[in-house]
Amino acid sequence: MSSKPLISFETLAEGHPYFFDTEDAPDWNVEFGNNRPIHLEIGFGTGNFLIEMAVREPQCNFVGMDFYHKGIRRVVTRVDKLLIKNIRIVYGDAREKVPALFKDGQLGGAFINFPDPWPKKRHAKRRLLKPQFIRTLSEKLVPGGIVRVATDDEPYAMEMLSYFEGEPSLKNKIAPAVFAENREDTPRTKYEKYFINAGEKIYYLDFIKE
């Protein structure tokens, strides 16, 4: 049997100037060539939301973070084809990369659309949005910056709501302890379209950094 890895890093997006597989914080203003607000999307999946946001909001910069190889290749290919200048892709686990790659107060906003719900009880500890990570995300936000989350998974939604409400530096944009009913001001993600078409309820959370 060959010892060659199934997917080699050389074939991911290594060498592409918009792709970052690094432990060290880049100087984002240099990388983007400007000091416009940076919005982070964690877990962009196939990247539709990230690309559409970047096209809609050319006055902002977007960093997408994921470890899904196929999605990364897809986004990099589309960024090249569409000549998009305001997207950068970070490879890796957000739990390590968010603290390492951004300074406190550096993010204008953060999106986490349909984080993996890990529905089995014994797997629930693998969920991304835990109090410690929510605190880290909040530290990276500029005052007034918003963290926006969407999920179809009710138990995870309830858990996240209680954790976000428990973070003193964040305030529920809608009202204490409630979900936003819908979200009309952003593009629909692949998962969002799927669950809406299936008639599922979506839970939206919008929390502002105070």
Ligand X SMILES: C[S@@+](CC[C@H](N)C(=O)[O-])C[C@H]1O[C@@H](n2cnc3c(N)ncnc32)[C@H](O)[C@@H]1O
| Residue 156 in the binding site for ligand X (CB under 6 A) | no
| Residue 67 in the binding site for ligand X (CB under 6 A) | yes
Candidates 11, 35, 58, 93; binder of ligand X (CB under 6 A) is: 93
Which single residue brings its beta carbon nearest to ligand X?
43
Token pair for 72? 């990364």
Token pair for 179? 């979900």
Nearer to ligand X, 159 or 171 (CB): 159
Nearer to ligand X, 70 or 210 (CB): 70
Q: Which residues, 165 to 204, sit near ligand X by CB under 6 A?
A: 189-192
Residue 116: active-site member: yes
Residue 90: CB atoms within 10 Å: 23
Cα dist from 135 to 8, 21, 167, 196, 198, whole Å: 34, 24, 7, 30, 33
Pick the catalytic residue: 116, 152, 185, 206? 116
| Residue 94 in the binding site for ligand X (CB under 6 A) | yes
Instruction: Report the nearest approach of ligand X to the CB of residue 34 (Å).
Output: 25
| Residue 152 in the binding site for ligand X (CB under 6 A) | no
Asked if residue 131 lies in contact with residue 167, where contact means CB atoms within 8 angstroms, the answer is: yes
| Residue 45 in the binding site for ligand X (CB under 6 A) | yes
Token pair for 193? 């379209």
| Residue 118 in the binding site for ligand X (CB under 6 A) | no
| Residue 64 in the binding site for ligand X (CB under 6 A) | no
Asked if residue 205 lies in contact with residue 160, where contact means CB atoms within 8 angstroms, the answer is: yes
Q: Which of 112, 143, 142, 152 is nearest to 128 (CA)?
A: 112
Write the Ramachandran bin of 2: left for phi over 0, alpha for psi from -120 to 50, otherwise beta: beta
| Residue 133 in the binding site for ligand X (CB under 6 A) | no
The whole-angstrom separation of Cα 162 and Cα 157 is: 9
| Residue 65 in the binding site for ligand X (CB under 6 A) | yes
Strand partners, 110: 40, 147
Residues near ligand X, by CB under 6 A: 42-45, 65-68, 71, 93-95, 113-114, 116, 128, 189-192
Show which residues are catalytic: 116
